[in-house]
Amino acid sequence: MNIDQLKNEIRDVPDFPKPGIVFKDITPLLEDSHAFDSLIHHMCESVDKKPTKLVAIDSRGFIFGAAMASKLHCGLVLARKKGKLPSETYSQEFQLEYGTDTLEIHKSSLSDEDTVVIVDDVLATGGTAEAATKLCEQAGAKVLSYSFLIELGFLNGKQKLSSPIHSLIKY
Q: Residue 80 interacts with ligand AMP (CB under 6 A)?
A: no
Q: Beta strand pairing status for 22-25 and 11-14?
A: antiparallel
Q: Which is nearer to ligand AMP, 114 or 121 (CB)?
A: 121
Q: Residue 147 interacts with ligand AMP (CB under 6 A)?
A: no
Q: Which is nearer to ligand AMP, 51 or 157 (CB)?
A: 157
Site residues for ligand AMP, window 47-66 (CB under 6 A)?
57, 60
Q: Residue 1 interacts with ligand AMP (CB under 6 A)?
A: no
Stretch that binds ligand AMP, among 2-10, 32-40, 45-53, 118-126 (CB under 6 A): 118-126
Q: Residue 121 interacts with ligand AMP (CB under 6 A)?
A: yes
Catalytically annotated residues: 60, 97
Task: Report how far residue 126's alpha carbon sits from residue 75's, in angstroms, rounded to the nearest whole number.
Answer: 24
Radius of gyration of the chain (CA): 15
Task: Report how far residue 153's alpha carbon sits from residue 171's, in angstroms, rounded to the nearest whole number.
Answer: 6
Closest approach, Cβ 112 to ligand AMP, in A, equals 26
Q: Choose which of 90, 104, 126, 141 interacts with ligand AMP (CB under 6 A).
A: 126
Burial grade of 66 (CB within 10 A; 0-12, 13-18, 19 or more)? middle
Closest approach, Cβ 113 to ligand AMP, in A, equals 27
Residues 6 or more apart in contact with residue 56 via CB below 8 angstroms: 62, 64, 65, 66, 69, 76, 77, 78, 79, 119, 120
Q: Residue 157 interacts with ligand AMP (CB under 6 A)?
A: yes
Closest approach, Cβ 111 to ligand AMP, in A, equals 25
* φ/ψ (deg, to 5) at 46: -80, -10
DSSP, collapsed to helix, strand or coil, labels residue 91 as strand
Q: Which residues bind ligand AMP (CB under 6 A)?
A: 21-24, 57, 60, 120-129, 157
